[in-house]
Chains A and B, each alone.
Chain A
């Protein structure tokens, strides 16, 4: 079976990472120069390997609830559901379901949707998914995005659909494997450009790319 491939796979090859496999996708576990110090300042980590799927349509909310998932009540917000999966409500009637380090909620829910379900349509999600950790993430957002994330209340669990350096992204503040982080999803075709741009700015802030084991030690021991 051909392994799943991150939208950033070719970008990582020249970084010579130590690879780990998550949900069938090789991703950098460690990079030659990533350190806990870099991650504490501003670490950018590829978490595209997390299984995810999407649903949209006027019946999507009720259908997902009927599958036993917790659903955010208002547009552009998110919550955790069983097994640590993340459910983000994008706009009013579209949902992103992404597994955490454990659990198979996303693929199981995807398989549960049968053709002809009224008002529910599957959405293929082959995003580039990033996690940003460290103290200086806010400074990176200030340089790359027009939304003032610093004024947002993390307790509100808002999901923001906007542009970073001209790329359409979904951004939210959450935690992954017990580590507080910011999550970014973008179309995979724009991933190398977004990655290179963010890494360049992060380097000026004392950060840079980090592997899963550095950003989320409890996840990849």
Chain B
């Protein structure tokens, strides 16, 4: 069973979580070009490596960040937005 640790609710089966995509800065829609906006809306980085992602614990409605190596599917740490990352042991 694959496990993921929610920073609020603890370690749970990954089936309790929903992937929310990579954390990406949104360009100012009023100030950016159409090309920049289209790139933000339609394109995603497929480069393998360590990425910061949004994850959602569906049982509690908790959104949080996870730092995950998408090449190995190994989660390095998780944390609540705006807070310091917590140690990750799984």
Q: Which A residues are within 8 Å of any B CB, using their own CB?
A: 75-76, 90-92, 146-147, 160-163, 168-169
Complex CA–CA separation, A92 to B83 (angstroms)? 13
Judge if B60 is at the interface, Cβ distance under 8 Å.
Answer: yes
* Given A75-B8, A92-B8, CB of A161 within 8 Å of CB of B13: no
A80 to chain B, nearest CB (A): 22
Residues on B with beta carbons closer than 8 Å to the beta carbon of A91: 8-9, 60-62
> Are B16 and A162 in contact (CB-based, < 8 A)?
yes
Which parts of B10-28 form the interface with A (CB within 8 Å)?
Answer: 12-13, 15-16
Chain A to chain B contacts (Cβ below 8 Å), 17 pairs: A76-B8, A76-B9, A90-B60, A91-B8, A91-B9, A91-B60, A91-B61, A91-B62, A146-B1, A146-B13, A160-B9, A161-B57, A162-B12, A163-B15, A163-B16, A168-B58, A168-B59
Question: What 7 A-B pairs have minimum CB-CB distances, sorted nearest first?
Answer: A161-B60, A168-B59, A161-B59, A146-B13, A162-B59, A163-B59, A91-B8
B19 to chain A, nearest CB (A): 17
Most buried by B among A76, A160, A161, A169: A161
Size bracket of the B interface: 10 to 19
Residues on A with beta carbons closer than 8 Å to the beta carbon of B58: 163, 168
A67 to chain B, nearest CB (A): 24
Question: Assuming A163-B16, A163-B58, A168-B59, what are 10 further A-B pairs, CB within 8 angstroms?
Answer: A76-B8, A91-B60, A91-B62, A92-B8, A146-B1, A160-B9, A161-B57, A161-B60, A162-B9, A169-B59
Residues on B with beta carbons closer than 8 Å to the beta carbon of A147: 12
> Are B12 and A146 in contact (CB-based, < 8 A)?
yes
Most buried by A among B1, B60, B62: B60
Residues on B with beta carbons closer than 8 Å to the beta carbon of A76: 8-9
Residues on A with beta carbons closer than 8 Å to the beta carbon of B60: 90-91, 161
Complex CA–CA separation, A54 to B12 (angstroms)? 25
A31 to chain B, nearest CB (A): 30
Which parts of B37-77 form the interface with A (CB within 8 Å)?
Answer: 57-62
B44 to chain A, nearest CB (A): 28
Kindly report which residue of chain B lies nearest to residue A169, judged by CB atoms: B59
Residues on B with beta carbons closer than 8 Å to the beta carbon of A169: 59
Kindly report which residue of chain B lies nearest to residue A76, judged by CB atoms: B9
Kindly report which residue of chain A lies nearest to residue B6, judged by CB atoms: A161
Residues on B with beta carbons closer than 8 Å to the beta carbon of A75: 8
Complex CA–CA separation, A76 to B9 (angstroms)? 7
Residues on B with beta carbons closer than 8 Å to the beta carbon of A146: 1, 12-13, 16
Complex CA–CA separation, A162 to B57 (angstroms)? 9
Complex CA–CA separation, A33 to B15 (angstroms)? 37
